[in-house]
Amino acid sequence: MGVDWQTFWPRIVEATGQTILMVAVTLVIGSIFGIIIGLLLFVTRKGNILENAFLYQIINFLINIIRPIPFIIFLVAISPLTREVIGTTIGTWAAIFPMSIAAAFSIARVVENNFISIDPGVIEAAKAMGASPLQIIYTILIPEALGPLVLGLTFITISLIDFSAMAGTVGGGGLGHVAMTYGYQRFDTSVMIVTVVILIVLVQLAQWVGNTLSRKILRR
């Protein structure tokens, strides 16, 4: 095997750090926008607290356009926009931009689904107690949906680890980049195995954190 692990380990550690950074930042940005978009989608639904058919149709349409595009194609397709916003299309931050957009729309759907599963009776009860639409959002919708929401976000986090590997192939850095350049293109199986093992550990870790958190929130 032609790898000098002495010099290669720091490279792996750096790449792992990049992957975690990409996933973490994307998760935060994606969640913020995802929750907002998901909320808008839910409250503008027919019969809901801020019913607005026009807004609902637009958001729904946008989500349905962006979600089915394979990420690797989306990544390339919006690269002109990435250059406008980030200044470059290469590197970790250039990967975070498209990842955040894709994540936000996926999260929006997850958020909407979780809100729909809240008993409408509870929302009616809050209304009957004099809650305003805004109060309903932050005292009912979010706390009542938080448990399943955390599980949904965990699911998204794991697909983000997958996204980050893809982003690596177009210069985003991270473990995906290492696996592609050293493992795939140089036929170095041991590098491939090491990166895959790290990815598996990251996924397990994310799932464990998500499960623990949601169990705490749901009390089961």
Partner 1 sequence: MITFKDVSKTFTIGKREVHAVRNVNLTIEEGEIFGIIGFSGAGKSTLLRLVNVLENPTAGAVEVQGVDLASLRPTEVRKVRRRIGMIFQNFNLLTSRTVAGNVAYPLKLAKMPRAKIKERVEELLRFVGLSDKAKDYPEQLSGGQKQRVGIARALATSPDILICDEATSALDPDTTGEILRLLKKVNKEFGITILLITHEMHVIQSICDKVAVMEDGEVIESGGVFDTFTSPAHQTTKRFIRSVQQDLPSPSLLDEWRQKGGKQLYRIIFKGEVASDPVLSRVTRKHDIDVNIVYGSVQEIQAKFYGNLLVSFDGDVGKTANAVEELNEIVQIEEVDVTWA
In b/e form, how buried is each residue of 62-96, taking b as 16+ CB within 10 angstroms? ebeebeeeebeebbeebbeebeeebeebeebbbbb
Of 144 and 188, which CB lies nearer to partner 1 in the complex structure?
A: 144
CA distance 34 to 157: 13
Closest to partner 1 by CB, 145 or 191:
145
The span from the CA of 138 to the CA of 21, in Å, is 29
Does 124 participate in binding partner 1 (rule CB under 8 A)? yes
Q: CA geometry: angle at 155 spanning 153 and 158, to 5°? A: 110
156-192: buried (b, 16+ CB within 10 Å) or exposed (e) per residue?
bbbebbebbbbbbbbebbbbbbbbbebbeeeebeebb
Q: Of residues 125, 193, 205, 209, which one binds partner 1 by CB under 8 A?
A: 125
Give yes or no for residue 134 binding partner 1 (CB under 8 A): no
| Candidate residues 135, 189, 211, 212; the one interacting with partner 1 per rule CB under 8 A | 135
Indicate whether 131 belongs to the interface with partner 1 (CB under 8 A): yes
Using CB under 8 A as the binding rule, whether residue 146 contacts partner 1 is answered as yes
Considering only residues 10, 70, 128, 185, which one is a binding residue for partner 1 as defined by CB under 8 A? 128
- Give me the least distance between CB of 40 and partner 1, in Å please: 19
C-beta closer to partner 1: residue 146 or 158: 146
The residue type of 165 is A
Nearer of residues 135 and 189 to partner 1, judged by Cβ = 135
- Positions touching partner 1 (CB under 8 A) are 119, 121-122, 124-132, 135, 139-140, 143-144, 146, 217, 219
